[in-house]
């Protein structure tokens, strides 16, 4: 559809990605909604509409390349990349298997980097494009039992900020979205919980802390507020880097308090 802009969104089958795909479509954009199993999603089944599904697994570089090529062929041009695909690995670090750690890093960091690299030639050729990376307040502060997840989101923050220097002269903007707790599958089926039956040393800690963390997610706002923040980042035409859909008071507390005081506050909240 000539004249319409196109957003390429990863992890669009649920949560923030799905809400973002629907939000951009409602604003009249074309949407390449990418997911691992598009055939399972009736909302994105149309083969020739303004919102189409493309098969993409961020841990499979070949599927990334195919999805990018197919989306460009379908829509002519991609204007905005939304790197949203990701999930949370939780539990005591000592209980995590190496395969779990690698999967968390490959999905949240390496996958995001590979999708970005796949689209950079297209953006450079057009001398325009916006990369919106969904990080988290967890990329600027930390909570217990999320050590490797936090490591990935801190990595996304550093990667994104460094890219701004490299890409500015090519007309490409980089944006970071930092949601706080959001009511999505992140706290349910999308979460990978590390357990080790032979390691009981952390059982009492996990039983005390993890239910409190999950209750925060149950009472959090829905993903639509993040979709609106992504839309703003993608369309405001500024060089602003970071956007906070929610969680700003928590970020301010982390910025203003000394390390020991911040940890004490978190400890009281979560009974650490």
Using an 8 Å Cβ cutoff, are 155 and 110 in contact?
no
Burial string for 97-109 (b: 16+ CB within 10 Å, else e) reads eeebbebbbbbbb
Crossing angle between the packed helical segments 147-167 and 111-126, to the nearest 10 degrees:
20
Tens of pLDDT along the chain (272 residues) come to 557 999 999 999 999 999 999 999 999 999 999 999 998 776 665 556 799 999 999 999 999 999 999 999 999 999 999 999 999 999 999 999 999 999 999 999 999 999 999 999 999 999 999 999 999 999 999 999 999 999 999 999 999 999 999 999 999 999 999 999 998 876 655 678 999 999 999 999 999 999 998 888 888 999 999 999 999 999 999 999 999 999 899 899 999 999 999 999 999 988 88
In whole angstroms, give the CA distance from residue 60 to residue 67: 11
Would you identify the CATH topology of the domain 6-270? Rossmann fold (3.40.50)
The structural domains of the chain, with segments of one domain joined by +, span 6-270
pLDDT in tens, 222-265: 999 999 999 999 999 999 999 999 989 989 999 999 999 999 99
Closest by CA to 137, choosing from 267, 13, 252, 268, is 252
pTM exceeds cut of 0.85? yes
The 8 Å CB, 24+ separation contacts for 264-272 are: 266/143, 266/144, 269/212, 270/143, 270/144, 270/208, 270/209, 270/212, 270/213, 271/208, 271/209, 271/212, 272/144, 272/205, 272/208, 272/209
Q: Quick one: tokens of 122?
A: 């297209």
Using an 8 Å Cβ cutoff, are 270 and 213 in contact?
yes
Closest by CA to 224, choosing from 2, 26, 3, is 26
* 149 a catalytic residue: yes
Burial of 237 (0-12, 13-18, 19+ CB in 10 A): exposed
Burial of 185 (0-12, 13-18, 19+ CB in 10 A): middle
Task: Give me the catalytic one of 149, 187, 202, 243.
Answer: 149
* Residue 185 to residues 44, 93, 208, Cα–Cα distance (Å): 19, 22, 22
Compute the radius of gyration of the chain from its Cα atoms.
19
């Amino acid at each position: 559809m000539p004249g319409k802009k196109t957003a390429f969104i990863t992890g669009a089958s649920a949560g923030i990605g799905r809400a973002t795909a629907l939000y951009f479509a409602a604003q009249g954009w074309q949407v390449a909604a990418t997911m691992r199993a598009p055939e399972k999603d009736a909302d994105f089944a149309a083969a020739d509409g303004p919102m189409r599904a493309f098969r993409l697994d961020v841990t499979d570089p070949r599927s990334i390349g195919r999805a990018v090529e197919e989306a460009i062929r379908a829509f002519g041009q991609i204007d905005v990349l939304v790197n949203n695909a990701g999930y949370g690995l939780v539990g005591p670090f000592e209980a995590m298997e190496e395969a779990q750690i690698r999967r968390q890093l490959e999905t949240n960091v390496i996958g995001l980097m590979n999708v970005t690299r796949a689209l950079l030639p297209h953006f450079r050729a057009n001398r325009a494009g916006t990369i919106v990376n969904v990080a988290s307040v967890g990329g600027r502060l930390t909570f217990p039992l999320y050590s490797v997840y936090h490591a990935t989101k801190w990595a996304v923050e550093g990667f994104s900020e460094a890219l701004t220097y490299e890409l500015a002269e090519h007309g490409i903007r980089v944006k970071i979205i930092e949601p706080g707790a959001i009511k999505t599958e992140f706290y349910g089926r999308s979460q990978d919980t590390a357990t080790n039956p032979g390691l009981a040393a952390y059982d009492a800690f996990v039983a005390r802390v993890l239910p409190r963390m999950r209750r925060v997610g149950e009472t959090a706002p829905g993903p639509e507020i993040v979709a609106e923040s992504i839309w703003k980042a993608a369309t405001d035409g500024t060089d602003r880097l970071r956007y906070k859909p929610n969680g700003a008071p928590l970020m301010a507390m982390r910025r203003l308090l000394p390390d020991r005081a911040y940890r004490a506050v978190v400890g009281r909240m979560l009974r650490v």
